[in-house]
Amino acid sequence: MTIVEFLQALHESRHVFGTLVVSPSPRWPEAVRTCGLDFVFIDTEHVALGRSELSWMCQTYASMGLPPLVRIPSPDPYAATMVLDGGAAGVIAPYVESAEQVQALRGAVKFRPIKGAKLQGLLRGEASAPGLGNYLRQGATQRALIVNIESVPAIEALDEILAVPGLDAVLIGPHDLSCSLEIPEQYDHPDFLTACESIFSKARAAGVGAGIHFWGDVAQQVRLVELGANLLIHSGDISLFQKHLRTELDAIKNAIGLAPTPKPPTQTKI
């Protein structure tokens, strides 16, 4: 899938599937390619990745037909331009709570490489020469702008956020959102599910993709799809490796009469 095809699918309310990729191992992209994904999610908010590593990952996954969507450390337009320069097909901005933040990110992603006073004029609606206008419109179709909805203030500002032109999708950060709702990690809580359904419904009605990054079991993921999500980031390489290895080791230990591996402490959710 190309980034253009990915964006078309999002805006047509078709389902697209990805996973979080942390490992920069050269062996990893080929393995990931065989899993039936439409894109990969690379996180630089919670994961320590250097610019060279990140650029290599982006270029490699893109060459395999897996558009790399990179979450930047903060909703900073300059951070967005840096990952795009490195080969990201799209930007995911964390913890966005206002339309003004989205507008600034729109300038970085959809009007690249324009900056400064010229950019501010274009964002205000000032006309540009036909050549520049066509150039920018063409470029905008090849870069995704996605923002995380992770707090009560973000939900309260959602109508204004969705009204910003050029926004391709909103993505729920379930851990942060559950904490903002004061029900940490209670993903079956009615308040959490109601919030998710409302976000999905408003986004889809606005012609914007609606997604969530979830690491729970398959039944939970299916429930979120039924509530309206069409941008699915399921689990991640570390989580899937850990879960599968623990399951198989425990099966072996059980078969030979040994105790299972103790449950690990709660890990940071991203």
Q: Give the global pTM.
A: 0.93
* Cβ 203 vs Cβ 170: under 8 Å: yes
Both tokens of 136, joined, read 């920018």
| pLDDT mean over 57-77 | 98
Tell me what pLDDT residue 225 has.
Answer: 96
The pLDDT, as a whole number, for residue 262 is 86
Domain ranges of the chain: 3-238
- 3-238 CATH: 3.20.20.60
State the burial class of residue 126 (Cβ atoms within 10 Å of its Cβ: 0-12, 13-18, 19+): exposed
6-13 mean pLDDT? 95
* pLDDT (mean) for 15-36: 95
The CA distance from 158 to 9, in Å, is 22
pLDDT band at 268 (very low <50, low <70, confident <90, very high): low
How far apart are alpha carbons 28 and 125 in whole angstroms? Answer: 44
Torsion angle, CA of 117/100/163/223, rounded to 10 degrees? 130
Q: Which residues of 57-72 are buried (b: 16+ CB within 10 A; e: fewer)?
A: bbebbbeeebbbbbbb
